[in-house]
Amino acid sequence: MIKDQSILQAIALTLAQAIILLAVSPAIVGLIKKVKARFQCRQGAGILQPYVDLKKLFRKQPVVSTTTSWIFTATPYIVFASTVTAGLLVPIFVSQMPLNFAGNIIAFVYLLALGTFFLILAGLDAGSPFGGMGSSREAIVASLTEPAMIMAIFAIALTAGSTNLSTIVHRTALLEGIVTDPSPHLMALAAVFIVALAETGRVPVDNPATHLELTMIHEAMVLEYSGRYLALLEWASAIKLLVFLTLIANVFAPWGIATSFTPMALSIGLAVYLVKVAGLALLIGTIECMFAKLRLFRITDLLGVAFILALLGLLFFYILRS
Amino acid sequence: MAIPLFLILVGYAAGVLLPLCFPARPRIQNLIAHGLAAVATMGGIYLGMVGLLAPEPLAMSVPSTLPLLTFAVRLDALSSLFLLMISFVGLAASIYAVGYVTELYGRISIGLLGSLYNAFLLSMTLVVLADNGFFFLIAWELMSLFSYFLVVTEHEKSDVRYAGLFYLIMTHIGTAFVILTFLLLFQGSGSFSFDAFRNLGHPLPDNMRTMAFVLALVGFGTKAGIVPLHVWLPYAHPAAPSHISALMSGVMIKTAIYALLRVYFDFFGGHFPWWWGFVVLLIGAVSALLGVMYALMEHDLKSLLAYHSVENIGIILLGIGAGMIFHSYDLDELAALGLIGGLYHTINHAVFKALLFFGAGSLLYATHTRNMEEYGGLLRRMPWTGGCFLIGAVSIAALPPTNGFVSEWLVFQSLFLSYQMPSLLMKFMLPLAAAMLALTGVLALTCFAKAFGISFLALPRSSHARHAEEVPWPMRVGMGGLSAVCIALGLAPMLVVPFLDHVSTSLIGRSIADKMLALDGWALAPVNVEFSSLSSPVLGFLLVATAALGLALVACYGGTSPRRYSKTWACGLNLTSRMEYSATGFVQPIKRVFSTIYQPTVKLETEFLEESRYFAKRRRFEFHIEPLFQAYFYDPLIAFVSGLADRMRIVQAGSLHLYLAYIFVTLVVLLMVAL
């Protein structure tokens, strides 16, 4: 909590979190692309390629459709802001985050929803049927993921006795109140993993590498964007991916995270964190190569499974406890 | 209390009478009616604040010549909160109406409309102030009648008359149940005064109490619009002029929430079994989900908003139901949390729903249509309306940092804290209700992305939308004020929660304000700060700061080149509004995924060219969704009742001799029974 630390330390930690999110996220995207390239027997671009892409996009002159309103140009900033803010609520390498008090898992989910809302609007704003298609599909995917997400995290929250992410991570890292049978956690993990794939637009829900109108969701919404606006949106979606990987890594396996503020613990925490998210990125890259994208109306089955898993996790928790 | 109350009554009474004194002078009628209403509502706001700050309830009464009836009023915390809400939304509506009714000049009598408007506000005020069962029923009935008259303002249209009739019948069925509830309470107490009702809670036998619970739920639930009694809302709310719709949807249906709290917590003193709360919770969850689902399929903007009222009443009942369950298990701190969540959402919904109905009214004013498929591109033509509607949409979609988010967050917490309950069933059912609330929340987001995106963005879809102009300033002021309140209620919950705590303390006798305001009020915590906390001012600050970071990054990395404007790429064609996604198309995936609930029927007719069956000349697409409750509950019921009436007609032959015979036979039978 904030009262245990000096204000300066709190600000420094929050800034460090923001910087890590901004700095590491493009590399994660690059890593996944590299893994996919290798699976396809290609050399692929370097892991640092997304940084170069971002720099190029920032410098390019943006083209804006004459059909659009201020919503179109404001959306990249809103999406960027809501994603980074949501990211600041997830502990990254220190379990006791200064901003823990600012919001719990519900706030996290609804902050991301704020970005989704404006992206959907932006997709409709240019008037192109592609954008509308993307918006409409994003809406149904978001509708089905959120209940599963909230149920899954709630199953975990019960074990830790808190819905604040930092408190959950801290208590789990210190092995407080851990149930001997890990089945609720495993169920919830499976559910959150499926949700993460859907929320970040990865295969088998969406394909980030496609520009085919039959399949694209996220790409269709941002189709009209260019230049610095596109750069911000691309960066925001990379951050969102990293935030979900962080969530999975730290909520389900927080061990190694810094539970105190000594320099030693902090550096170990940072190193372990980077290894964990890189591992998850490898896993996602592998999944993208092993599975085909599902048909749009098949996604409901997958997300239905995620919801049922989360619910089972909850039921198991109560049965194990009583 | 006496003087401000007297002034309010005089203000409304003048508002009822004076506009009628200037026939055929619509401008003067408009200014007088709405000016007086504004003054009276300001008095109401003052009185509400006084009542909320007063430690003890204020009461006064005037005896009447009728037995059982006294004109008793009592201003306790609960009444004050609702009085404040009614008066505040009433004030905004009065300002808005000054601009809005100009469109109706010459078509209808503005004097009559203004007079009824004041009478409607007065009757709602009396409903929440009444301290006598008889007096309450009179006010309740007046509220129903005046709102009916307002619904049929444009009675020359047949669908408006139908909507009015539908509303009148439904609301009277509800009133019948309310009367039965009060008669039941009267049987226990022997008096119609609320004080007598308060003291009878326990002595009443269990089956009578259960009956009173069900009767009150059905009676007041009809007014509140709970599923399956919600069917009148999507008819009545769109038919009324928009400032009336805002009052009906934002405020009038809340008087039912007020009455339910009054009966369950005040009259029964909070002594009830757990399943009462569970029934309320269940109805809340079903109303929330079905409300938003039907809203999604609606393309008449005002009907869409009406269905969202069903949804939000559901969310309010989720909070209140959770509070009732906690209370019956003696977990009073958590019960207070549920109630505070429900009450917070009640206020928030009043504000953003009124705002959204004002927005819909402005669109109607500017385009003369309620059909969303004929809007489009209006943000550029009507920037004020668009901006305000966007704030309302973000609020109702419960997105941070607006007010809808804070209250929905509180309801979520009270559902999550169910793990402290002794019953395993409740432990499992309340999180399930939370999951339904989560689904409701995202579907509401989708629905308002649709409502805003289709109406305000992209190209205009009709000539109405192409020639729309921004509405006059009183309407903008009404909307702007409510928008500011939406944001203020979201960013400063620490200023609101103590008042709500005062209300819930008066109902269940446990104050939790000091536990809810953690970190000197910077964060909200549901009783236990370890379990969860939320600081909406900090979230708001972070959102602004990170958006500024985005701007700084753009400035830093050379994003200085000016934007180039170009047409949207439409595969080589010129983009027209017919290529855009329509509202129907936008929700098609949802219709398909939830087809079990919607049971859609699609009709596609194609006319082909004579030369070849491969080329279509004309296509006609039609789809309907089956309104389940109407098809499987109301239609059979109506058929049964009218069938019964048909058979009863044999008795009514129209012959005078026969009727005299009836009277004679009745007399003989009565005499025989009496002797």
Least confident of A257-261, B289-293, B309-313, B482-486: A257-261
Q: Give burial (CB, 10 Å; 0-12/13-18/19+) of B3.
A: exposed
Q: In this complex, do A136 and B587 lie within 8 Å of one another by their Cβ atoms?
A: yes
Query: What mean pLDDT, rounded, does chain B reach?
Result: 92
Q: In this complex, do B452 and A121 lie within 8 Å of one another by their Cβ atoms?
A: yes
Least confident of A123-127, B120-124, B201-205: B201-205
- CA B515 to chain CA mean position, Å: 30
C-alpha span between B358 and B222 (Å, rounded): 24
- CA A118 to each of CA A239, B164, B383, B399, B449: distance values in angstroms, whole numbers, following the listed order: 17, 38, 17, 11, 8
Q: Give burial (CB, 10 Å; 0-12/13-18/19+) of A4.
A: exposed
Do residues A115 and A264 touch, judged by C-beta distance below 8 A?
no
Query: Which residue, among B457, B544, B580, would best test binding to A if mutated, counting the most A CBs under 10 Å from its CB?
Result: B457
Determine the distance in angstroms separating the CA of B521 from the nearest CA of chain A, rounded to an integer: 12
Q: Which of A161, A228, A231 sits opposite B530 (nearest CB)?
A: A161
Q: Which residue has the tokens 């989900």?
A: B289
Say if residue B634's pLDDT is above 50: yes
Residue of B nearest to A167 (CA): B530
Look at residues B52, B51, B78, B54 and name the one whose alpha carbon lies nearest to residue B339.
B78
Q: Which of A102, A104, A297 sits opposite B538 (nearest CB)?
A: A102
Q: Mean per-residue pLDDT for B622-646? A: 88
C-alpha span between B91 and B44 (Å, rounded): 9
- Which residues in A lie closer than 8 A to residue B532 (C-beta atoms)? 104, 106, 162-164
User: In sequence order, what are the residues at sequence separation of 6 or more whose Cβ sits closer than 8 angstroms to the Cβ of residue B583?
Assistant: B299, B372, B373, B450, B454
- CA A50 to chain CA mean position, Å: 17
Kindly indicate the confidence band of residue B268, based on its pLDDT and cuts at 50, 70 and 90.
Answer: confident
- CA A144 to each of CA A51, A139, A199, B304: distance values in angstroms, whole numbers, following the listed order: 33, 9, 10, 21
Look at residues B22, B144, B95 and name the one whose alpha carbon lies nearest to residue B358.
B95
The total of structural domains in chain A comes to 1
Do residues A273 and A90 touch, judged by C-beta distance below 8 A?
no
SS (H, E, C) B114-158: HHHHHHHHHHHHHHHHECEHHHHHHHHHHHHHHHHHHHHHHCCCH
What pLDDT, on the 0 to 100 scale, is given for residue B561?
A: 78
User: In sequence order, what are the residues at sequence separation of 6 or more whose Cβ sits closer than 8 angstroms to the Cβ of residue B242?
Assistant: B100, B302, B357, B358, B360, B361, B362, B364, B365
C-alpha span between A292 and B497 (Å, rounded): 50
Whether the CA torsion B285, B287, B288, B289 is positive or negative: it is positive
Look at residues B359, B487, B302 and name the one whose alpha carbon lies nearest to residue B96.
B359
Tell me if residue B606 falls in helix, strand or coil. Answer: strand
Kindly indicate the confidence band of residue B62, based on its pLDDT and cuts at 50, 70 and 90.
Answer: confident
What pLDDT, on the 0 to 100 scale, is given for residue A2?
A: 45
Q: Mean per-residue pLDDT for B75-91? A: 96
Q: Which of A80, A135, A151 sits opposite B435 (nearest CB)?
A: A151
Do residues B617 and B413 touch, judged by C-beta distance below 8 A?
no
The total of structural domains in chain B comes to 2
Q: Which of B419, B562, B575 sits opposite A158 (nearest CB)?
A: B419
Q: Which of A58, A116, A123 sits opposite B557 (nearest CB)?
A: A58
DSSP readout, B402-425? SHHHHHHHHHHHHHHGGGGSS-HH
Residue of A nearest to B544 (CA): A81
What pLDDT, on the 0 to 100 scale, is given for residue A1?
A: 44
In the numeric block, which tokens belong to residue B49?
Answer: 């604040």
C-alpha span between B352 and B233 (Å, rounded): 17
Q: What are phi and psi of B269, to 5 degrees?
A: 60, 20
Residue of A nearest to B586 (CA): A136
Q: In this complex, do A81 and B442 lie within 8 Å of one another by their Cβ atoms?
A: no
Determine the distance in angstroms separating the CA of B202 from the nearest CA of chain A, rounded to an integer: 34
Q: Which residues span the domain enclosing B83?
A: 1-272
Q: Which of B443, B535, B569 sits opposite A128 (nearest CB)?
A: B569
Residue of B nearest to A315 (CA): B428
CA atoms within 13 A on the CB side of A318: 19
Q: Which of A62, A128, A143 sits opposite B443 (nearest CB)?
A: A143
Dihedral angle over CA of B224, B225, B229, B232, nearest 10: 120
Q: What are phi and psi of B619, to 5 degrees?
A: -130, 140
Say if residue A249's pLDDT is above 90: yes
Q: In this complex, do A128 and B579 lie within 8 Å of one another by their Cβ atoms?
A: yes
Alpha helices in B130-241 (DSSP H): 133-151, 158-189, 194-198, 206-224, 233-239
Q: In this complex, do A70 and B379 lie within 8 Å of one another by their Cβ atoms?
A: yes
Determine the distance in angstroms separating the CA of B95 from the nearest CA of chain A, rounded to an integer: 28
User: In sequence order, what are the residues at sequence separation of 6 or more whose Cβ sits closer than 8 angstroms to the Cβ of residue B644?
Assistant: none
Residue B527 lies in a domain: no
Say if residue B673's pLDDT is above 80: yes
- Which residues in B lie closer than 8 A to residue A109 (C-beta atoms)? 438
Q: Which of B457, B519, B523 sits opposite A121 (nearest CB)?
A: B457
Q: In this complex, do A224 and B568 lie within 8 Å of one another by their Cβ atoms?
A: yes
Q: In this complex, do B377 and A110 lie within 8 Å of one another by their Cβ atoms?
A: no
Q: In this complex, do B457 and A124 lie within 8 Å of one another by their Cβ atoms?
A: yes
- CA B407 to each of CA A133, B399, B534: distance values in angstroms, whole numbers, following the listed order: 32, 11, 11
Determine the distance in angstroms separating the CA of A173 from the nearest CA of chain B, rounded to an integer: 16
pLDDT of B224-265, one tens digit each? 999 889 999 999 999 999 999 999 999 999 999 999 999 999
Q: Which of B523, B530, B553 sits opposite A162 (nearest CB)?
A: B530
Residue B59 lies in a domain: yes
Do residues B399 and B405 touch, judged by C-beta distance below 8 A?
yes
What pLDDT, on the 0 to 100 scale, is given for residue A148?
A: 92
Residue of B nearest to A227 (CA): B559
* Percent of chain B clearing pLDDT 70 (strictly above): 99
Residue of B nearest to A322 (CA): B424
Residue B3 lies in a domain: yes
Q: Which of A64, A129, A228 sits opposite B581 (nearest CB)?
A: A129
Say if residue A112's pLDDT is above 90: yes
Residue B665 lies in a domain: yes
Look at residues A81, A85, A80, A92 and name the one whose alpha carbon lies nearest to residue A108.
A85
pLDDT of B278-331, one tens digit each? 999 999 999 999 999 999 999 999 999 999 999 999 999 999 999 999 999 999
pLDDT of A1-58, one tens digit each? 445 557 888 889 899 999 999 999 999 999 999 999 999 999 999 999 999 999 999 9
Helices and strands in chain A: count of H runs, count of E runs: 11, 1
Determine the distance in angstroms separating the CA of A40 from the nearest CA of chain B, rounded to an integer: 32
C-alpha span between B174 and B172 (Å, rounded): 5
What pLDDT, on the 0 to 100 scale, is given for residue B68?
A: 79
Q: Which amino acid, one-letter code, is at B192?
A: F
Q: Which amino acid, one-letter code, is at A285?
A: G
Residue of A nearest to B435 (CA): A147
Query: Which residue, among A5, A82, A143, would best test binding to B if mutated, counting the most B CBs under 10 Å from its CB?
Result: A143
Residue B96 lies in a domain: yes
- Which residues in B lie closer than 8 A to residue A3 (C-beta atoms)? 519
Least confident of B123-137, B142-156, B254-268, B415-429: B415-429
Q: Mean per-residue pLDDT for B148-156? A: 94
C-alpha span between B335 and B508 (Å, rounded): 8
Tell me if residue B24 falls in helix, strand or coil. Answer: coil
- CA B333 to each of CA A30, A104, B322, B329: distance values in angstroms, whole numbers, following the listed order: 50, 20, 12, 11
Q: In this complex, do A117 and B565 lie within 8 Å of one another by their Cβ atoms?
A: no
- Which residues in B lie closer than 8 A to residue A78 (C-beta atoms)? 547
What pLDDT, on the 0 to 100 scale, is given for residue B557?
A: 83
Q: In this complex, do A227 and B587 lie within 8 Å of one another by their Cβ atoms?
A: no
Residue B622 lies in a domain: no
Say if residue A274's pLDDT is above 80: yes
Q: Which residues span the domain enclosing A35?
A: 2-321
Last residue within a domain, chosen from B208, B238, B272: B272
Residue of B nearest to A118 (CA): B449
- Which residues in A lie closer than 8 A to residue B569 (C-beta atoms)? 128, 224
Q: In this complex, do B442 and A146 lie within 8 Å of one another by their Cβ atoms?
A: yes
Tell me if residue B71 falls in helix, strand or coil. Answer: strand
Q: From its phi and psi, is residue B91 left (phi > 0), alpha (psi between -120 and 50) or beta? A: alpha
In the numeric block, which tokens belong to residue A111?
Answer: 């902050």
User: In sequence order, what are the residues at sequence separation of 6 or more whose Cβ sits closer than 8 angstroms to the Cβ of residue B415?
Assistant: B318, B322, B430, B431, B433, B434, B437
Q: Which of A144, A151, A161 sits opposite B431 (nearest CB)?
A: A151
pLDDT of B372-427, one tens digit each? 999 999 999 999 999 999 999 999 999 999 999 999 999 999 999 988 888 888 88
Least confident of B5-19, B64-78, B250-264, B321-335: B64-78
Name beta bridge partners: B371: B300
Last residue within a domain, chosen from B249, B272, B295: B272
Query: Which residue, among A1, A150, A301, would best test binding to B if mutated, counting the most B CBs under 10 Å from its CB?
Result: A150
Q: Which of A123, A142, A300 sits opposite B593 (nearest CB)?
A: A300
Residue B106 lies in a domain: yes
Q: Mean per-residue pLDDT for B501-510? A: 92
Say if residue B210's pLDDT is above 50: yes
DSSP readout, B34-62? HHHHHHHHHHHHHHHHHHHH-SS-EEEEE
Residue B218 lies in a domain: yes
DSSP readout, A13-30? HHHHHHHHHHHHHHHHHH
Q: Give burial (CB, 10 Å; 0-12/13-18/19+) of A79.
A: buried
Crossing angle for the helix pair A263-290 and A7-39, nearest 10 degrees?
30
Determine the distance in angstroms separating the CA of A286 from the nearest CA of chain B, rounded to an integer: 29
What pLDDT, on the 0 to 100 scale, is given for residue B531?
A: 87
Least confident of B128-137, B390-399, B513-522: B513-522
Do residues A216 and A206 touch, judged by C-beta distance below 8 A?
yes
Dihedral angle over CA of A253, A259, A265, A271, nearest 10: 30
Q: Which of A78, A129, A154 sits opposite B547 (nearest CB)?
A: A78
Q: Mean per-residue pLDDT for A146-169? A: 88
- Which residues in B lie closer than 8 A to residue A128 (C-beta atoms)? 568-570, 575, 579-580
DSSP readout, B412-460? HHHHHGGGGSS-HHHHHHHHHHHHHHHHHHHHHHHHHHHHHHHHHSSS-
Look at residues B553, B493, B405, B549 and name the one whose alpha carbon lies nearest to residue A14.
B549
Determine the distance in angstroms separating the CA of B423 from the nearest CA of chain A, rounded to an integer: 11
Last residue within a domain, chosen from B213, B244, B272: B272
Q: What is the CA angle B519-B433-A184, rounded to 5?
A: 80
Q: In this complex, do A132 and B580 lie within 8 Å of one another by their Cβ atoms?
A: yes
Do residues A257 and A268 touch, judged by C-beta distance below 8 A?
no
Q: From its phi and psi, is residue A31 left (phi > 0), alpha (psi between -120 and 50) or beta? A: alpha
Residue of B nearest to A311 (CA): B432
Query: What mean pLDDT, rounded, does chain A reach?
Result: 90
- CA A31 to each of CA A38, A87, A239, B374, B422: distance values in angstroms, whole numbers, following the listed order: 11, 20, 14, 47, 49
- Which residues in B lie closer than 8 A to residue A149 (C-beta atoms)? 438
Q: In this complex, do A139 and B449 lie within 8 Å of one another by their Cβ atoms?
A: yes
* Percent of chain B clearing pLDDT 90 (strictly above): 71
What pLDDT, on the 0 to 100 scale, is given for residue A180?
A: 62
- CA B38 to chain CA mean position, Å: 21
Least confident of A169-178, B6-15, B379-388, B429-438: A169-178
Least confident of A224-228, A264-268, A317-321, B388-392: A317-321
Query: Which residue, among A5, A228, A314, A321, would best test binding to B if mutated, counting the most B CBs under 10 Å from its CB?
Result: A228
Q: Mean per-residue pLDDT for B496-524? A: 89
Q: Give burial (CB, 10 Å; 0-12/13-18/19+) of B233.
A: buried
